[in-house]
Amino acid sequence: MRAFLLGLLLALTLPPFPLGFLAPLVLALLLKGGFREGFFAGLGFWGLHLVWLPQSFAQNFGPWGAVPFLPLVLVKALSFGLLFALTPNAPMRIGGWVLLEWLTEQGELAFPWGFLGYALVEAPGRVLAAWGGVYLLSLLVLLVAWGLRARRPWASSPGPSSGSFPSPRPGPRERPSWSRGTSTP
């Protein structure tokens, strides 16, 4: 039930809703879990995101035009479930998510709806789409979500001067070998 609700919330972060800034928060909660979580999140996400489709198809193709809606939502939810099942950790899931978006836009049956990068349509960062398209924007949304999940300070910082890049972890300091009095051949 939790994954289904998170999927619904994720759908609300994409246009036409003005809640794109919340996408990383929702995704931070979704970066964990297996097939079941992915499938139910996919059901919530695709069910709400494509709610307009049956009405549109019925207007264009008659009453039978709405029939493909349920199989489409199930197939898209299955793709989320498989993604979650095949990616055991967050970095793999992030890469897999962007790859899945790219794959769904290829070929004759391309389906370019529901990409996470569209959450940044109203954000200043959308200019980065000129360099990497919607896939780069999706990657940025997912990386911020991962940073929030891992509680990394660079995930929510606006610029390099305020720590937007990860700093090295503090640890024992070693002196260079030349300063220890050892000779090198």
Has residue 164 got a pLDDT over 50? no
**Residue 71 · residue 50 · CB < 8 Å:** no
Q: How many CB atoms lie within 10 A of CB 128?
A: 16
The two tokens of residue 77 are 């939810």
What pTM was computed for the model?
0.76
Q: Is the pLDDT of residue 171 over 80?
A: no
d(CA 33, CA 86): 11
Q: What is the pLDDT of residues 125-142, one digit of tens each?
A: 778 877 888 888 899 999
Mean pLDDT score across all residues of the chain:
82
Beta strand spans in the chain (E):
none
At residue 155 the predicted structure's pLDDT band, cuts being 50, 70 and 90, is: low
Per-residue pLDDT reduced to its tens digit, 68-126:
888 999 999 999 999 999 998 989 999 999 999 999 999 887 888 899 988 888 887 77
Split at pLDDT 50, 70, 90, the class of 47 is very high
Other CB atoms within a 10 A radius of the CB of residue 135 amount to 18
In 3D space, the residue among 71, 65, 64 whose CA is nearest the CA of residue 43 turns out to be 71
